[in-house]
A = this chain, B = another copy of it.
């Protein structure tokens, strides 16, 4: 499962928590946050703290893998060749 948005991550957390038969209260205590926090995160709260999120994932034995592979359809940053030229240009432009 690939995670791109806070909502997706929230869904992952919720599914996994339910699979482990944990209720929000126990889960919250286990990772050291309030139940309120669990609720909001599971609902896709975008401004949750990174550290707490990682703790939550860890508590549910979810591994996060960061890879640099390309999703062809999303071709946004695809320079690949003349980076030097771009840099030089940026240097001149004095952004």
A47 at the interface (CB under 8 A from B): yes
Report the 6 A-B pairs with minimum CB-CB distance, sorted nearest first.
A46-B51, A65-B65, A3-B64, A47-B49, A48-B50, A1-B66
CB of A19, distance to nearest CB on chain B (Å): 8
Set B49, B58, B62: member contacting A67, Cβ < 8 A: B62
When all copies of this chain in the complex are counted, the total is 2
For chain A, the bracket of interface size reads: 35 or more
Q: Is A43 an interface residue (CB 8 A)?
A: no
Query: Complex Cα distance A59/B50, Å?
Result: 18
User: What 0/1 readout, one digit per residue, does chain A (1-37) give for beta carbons within 8 Å of chain B?
Assistant: 1111110010010001000110000100000000000
Q: Is the CB of B47 within 8 A of A6?
A: no
